[in-house]
Amino acid sequence: MSLMVFVFDDEEDIRDVLTLFLQERGYKVKTFSDPLGFNTRCSCSQGERCGDILITDQNMPGLTGLELIKQLIRNGCRGIVRHMAVISGSWTEEALREAKKLGCKILNKPFNIEELYNWLDECEKSILSGPNEQVFTNF
C-alpha cells in the first residue's frame, strides 16, 4: 500500500526536498505552491479518501496552513486531515494553540528531518492499523 501525501509550501526548494524525502519512503506525493489553487472540496466529501498525510507551511500568501486545514475540515475531508504537520519559522502563540487544538504535528523551520521521519513512522502505524476518524466540532 502506497500512502498519499499532500505537501503545501510556497517555497519551491522546500517542496522539492520534501518530495524527494517522501518518495524515498515509498509515498506518492502531490505538491502545491498555492493553497488558493487547491480545491478544498476534496474527494472525501464524495465518500473517497483524498490522501493520507498533509504537510503544510503555515505562512503562505493568501491562506495560512491552518486556514487551509480548517477549510478542508469544514468541507468534509476525512483523509489528509487525520495526519497533519504544519511547518513555520515564525510561530505566534495563537497559531501554536490553534495547531495543537487541531491535532497538528508542529515543526519549526529549519526542521529536523529525523523528527519528521519519526512522525511519519507514527502516521504509518496509525493508518495501517485501521480507521482513525477525528471529529472536529469547534475551531
CA distance 78 to 3: 15
88 inside domain: yes
| Cα→Cα distances 48→43, 118, 119, 133, Å | 5, 27, 24, 14
Residues of the chain with pLDDT under 50: 135-139
Which of 135, 136, 106 lies closest to 119, judged by CA? 106
pLDDT of residue 40: 62
134 inside domain: no
pLDDT of residue 46: 65
Residue 114 DSSP SS3: helix
Structural domain harbouring 44? 4-128
Domain of 60, CATH number, reads 3.40.50.2300
pLDDT digits 0-9 by tens, 98-119: 999 999 999 998 888 899 999 9
Q: In what order do the strands lie in the sheet with 84-88?
A: 28-32, 4-8, 53-57, 84-88, 105-108
For the entire predicted model, the pTM comes to 0.89
Domain count within the chain: 1
45 inside domain: yes
Residue 110: is the preceding peptide bond cis (ω within 30°)?
yes
138 inside domain: no
